[in-house]
Amino acid sequence: MDAAQSMSTLYITGAGVSAESGIPTFRGSDGYWTVGSVNYTPQQMATRRMYLENPREFLKWYYHRFVTYRNHGPNDVHYWLADKSLITQNIDGLDGKAGNKNYIAIHGRLDQMTLFHEQGPLVDKIIAPWSDVDSSNLEQSLMHIFRINNEPQIDYSYKPFVLLFDEFYTELYQISEAQQRMEEAEKIIFMGTSFSVNITQMALDIAISREIPIEVVDPSPVKLSYHNVIYHPITALEYINR
């Protein structure tokens, strides 16, 4: 694939791509949405409300998610995508580690954090010091690192740079650039995604309205209500090695 063709094709990836790196998918039998925490479901955990009302439980859950794969590296699919126009739903940061300098992490990156703020304004993204956490005194250490006393304070406390269930896409997550890439694409290829989040529905709606051809790469591809789709019922790794 030459550079021109690479840039005219937009790739949108989900958890199935990082599964090759040993990172659990969200909805599989070992997935994060399945396992959850001791007292709360993942749909309860990954919310702004939980961060506000129970920051200790919230931070512990994200800490355990991060340490699960903090030392995992990119796989062949990430490296293959390194020079492609890419939007990923994954928050593992592996596309950046693979060398993609211009990808959009539409749901954020767990290795970064921001000031806790009302949604809308742009704020700086800084490296999240997960490595500084004292696991022998986990709750207190997390609360100290994220500058939380009893409850998070706007524009003072820190929050992991991840889009939560009760938040919406903003320019912090490059939503306008993502939409522009969708609208300008000559083809959109979805890899390893279950089409269960808003960004994939947005891309599908744009593709249908603009008659953009779609390809779906997944061992069990979701069947879409669109005539211009090619299905590849294989893994992303199998797809790039065809």
**Mean pLDDT, the chain, integer:** 90
From CA 56, how far away is CA 40, in angstroms rounded? 13
- Amino acid occupying residue 127: I
What is the residue type of 233?
A: P
Strand, coil or helix: 218: coil
pLDDT at 18: 92
Beta-bridged to residue 115, according to DSSP, are 158
pLDDT at 36 over 60: no
Per-residue confidence at 31, pLDDT binned at 50, 70, 90? very low
Which amino acid makes up residue 24? P
Strand partners, 12: 87, 190
Residue range 136-165, pLDDT digits in tens: 999 999 999 999 999 999 999 999 999 999
Q: What are the structure tokens assigned to 45, written together? A: 């955990």
- Maximum alpha-carbon separation in the chain: 55
Note the pTM of the prediction, 2 decimals. 0.90
pLDDT band per the 50, 70, 90 thresholds, residue 7: low
- φ, ψ of residue 101 to 5 degrees: the values are -90, -10
- Has domain 1-23+74-107+169-242 been given CATH number 3.30.110.40? no
Can you give the residue ranges of every domain in the chain?
1-23+74-107+169-242, 28-71+114-162
Distance, CA of 161 to CA of 180 (rounded, Å): 23
